[in-house]
């Protein structure tokens, strides 16, 4: 995993921890918005990294790659499914355009 991807991943994990500690009355909505933002920034960086490797033939093959195994192992369960969906789209050659609010 390259340094920028690693940084985005760590930022996502830190934001996840902050979300878990947020009080519904004290900015939980803001924290959730920031988590969404961090997730898509991570996906953008992941997409750039993914383009530099030999494209796996299937989702199962992709999940066997050591870098992706590390991400999957450390990713909180509620974030794993959206990550897997994004990975599946990348394998199929589909890149989603993120909403302008993530720029």
Closest CA to 83 of 38, 52, 53, 51: 38
pLDDT digits (tens, 9 = 90+) for 37-95: 999 999 999 999 999 999 999 999 999 999 999 999 999 999 999 999 999 999 999 87
Q: How far apart are CA 86 and CA 40, in angstroms?
A: 10
Q: In the predicted model, is pLDDT for residue 102 greater than 90?
A: no
Q: Looking at residue 10, what is its pLDDT?
A: 96
Q: In total, how many domains does the chain have?
A: 1
- Residue 75 belongs to domain spanning: 3-102
């Amino acid at each position: 995993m390259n340094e920028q991807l690693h940084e985005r991943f760590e930022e996502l994990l830190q934001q996840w921890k902050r979300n878990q500690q947020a009080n519904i009355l004290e900015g939980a909505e803001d924290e959730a918005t920031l988590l969404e933002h961090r997730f898509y920034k991570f996906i953008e960086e992941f997409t750039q990294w993914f383009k530099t490797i030999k494209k796996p033939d299937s989702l199962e093959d992709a999940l066997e790659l050591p870098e992706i195994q590390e991400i999957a192992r450390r990713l909180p369960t509620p974030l794993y499914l959206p990550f897997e969906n994004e990975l599946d789209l990348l394998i199929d050659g589909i890149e989603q355009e993120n909403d302008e609010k993530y720029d």
